[in-house]
A and B are shown apart, each in its own frame.
Chain A
Amino acid sequence: MQVGVFVLAALIGVGSALGLVLRRNPVHGALFLVVNLGSIAVLYLTLGAQFLAAAQVIVYAGAIMVLFVFAIMMLIPGKEETGPDPRRPVRLLAIPFGALLLLEVLLMVVARPAHPGGRVRAAGGVQAIGRLLFTDYLFPFELTSVLLLAALVGVLALAKRGAGAGATAGAPSGRIQGALDAAGQGAGGGSSGPAAAGRSAARPELTEPPRPGRDPAR
C-alpha cells in the first residue's frame, strides 16, 4: 500500500517536473509545478510529516504559485523561447552535465553509511515541530520574521514607481536602467542608445509607451 502510494506520487512528481522543463509554455509550466508540489505534499504525508504537507499546499501551491501566475499574467512571457536559440550548443551541454550531477548525487545517496537501528517514526507531527521551533530553534525562527520583513520592504522598493524621471535617479529602477543601458551599449544589444533614451523620457511607463523592442506581429 505504502509502496504503491510512493511509486504513484514519485511518478507524478518526476513527470510533472519533466513537463515543467520540457514544455515551452510557462503557463503549462506553472500548472505542472503545482502538480509537482502536490505530489511532494503526498510524499510528506507518507513520511509522517502532516504539518509540512499542509504547509506545502498552503504556502507553495497557494501563495507562491499565485505569485507566479500573477507574474505570468502580467508579463505574458513565452515568446522569448520561440525564436532560434543563439546559444543552443552551450545549452545542450546541460544534458550531460545534468546526467553527471544526477549520477553524483545518487552515488552520494547510495554510498551513505547506513543509519543505526532501522527506521523510527518521527514523534508526532505539529507538536514536535512546534516544540522544536519555540525552544531549540527560537532564534532562527525569529530571524525568519526579519527576513520576511526585509523581503517585503525590498519588494516595495523595487516595485515602487518613481514620481518622475528626474526624481528617480537614485531609485533602484533608475540604477538598473543605468546598468542595463551601459551593458547594452557595450555589447551592442538590441535596445541601446536612442531607444533607451526614448523609454526614460516616456516615464511613467504605466501609460504603455510604444514598446520599442517588441515585434507587434509577435
Chain B
Amino acid sequence: MVPGSYYTGLSAVLFAIGAVGVIVRRDPLVIFMSIEVMLNAANLALVAFGAQFGNAEGQVLVFFVMTVAAAEVAVGLAIIVAIFRLRRRLSVDDLSAMRW
C-alpha cells in the first residue's frame, strides 16, 4: 500500500514544474499546457486526500475542477487565436496592454 504522502509529494513536484513552466516559457500555448499540469497536480492531491479520509468528496471536487479547466481552455484558446489574428505573432512579451 502506497502512503498518501507519496501522492501529495508527487503532486507538489508536478505543481512546481508547472509553475516554472508558466514563468519560463514564452509561447502562450505552452504556458496553457503548464497550467494544465498545475491543475492536474492539484487534482491528484485532492484525490489522494479523499482516499486517505475515505470519502468521495475529493473526487467530486476534482470533477468540478475538470469542468472549470475545460471552460478555461476553451476561452483561453479563443483569446489566443483572436490575438494571433490581430498581431500575427504569439509572444507573451508583446502582450503588455493589460499591465499597469
Contact = CB atoms under 8 A, between A and B. Distances in A.
Nearest to A63: B70
A122 B56 contact: yes
B56 A123 contact: yes
Contacts, number: 269
Contacts of B52: 115, 119-120
Given A133-B63, A189-B94, A212-B88, A26 B20 contact: no
Interface band, chain A = 35 or more
Nearest to B22: A94
A18 interface: yes
B68 to A, nearest CB: 7
Interface string B60-76: 10111011111111110
B45 to A, nearest CB: 8
A98 B71 contact: no
Nearest to A172: B82
Interface residues of B, number: 83
Contacts of B47: 43-44, 47, 49, 52
B88 A213 contact: yes
Nearest to A21: B21
Nearest to A3: B2
Most chain A CB atoms below 10 A, which of B4, B67, B69, B96: B67
Chain B interface mostly: helix
A179 interface: yes
Contact of B59 (A17, A106, A129, A199): A129
Interface string A163-176: 00000000011001
A173 B44 contact: no
Interface string A55-97: 1100110011001100110110110110001110001011101
B14 A6 contact: no
Contacts of A201: none
B42 to A, nearest CB: 10
Contacts of B4: 115, 119
Nearest to B12: A105
Contact of B34 (A21, A99, A102, A112): A21
Contacts of A123: 54-56
A87 B44 contact: no
22 contacts: A6-B7, A14-B10, A17-B37, A20-B37, A36-B14, A40-B44, A46-B2, A52-B59, A80-B91, A81-B25, A97-B23, A101-B19, A119-B54, A129-B56, A133-B63, A140-B64, A147-B67, A151-B71, A159-B82, A180-B83, A184-B94, A190-B94
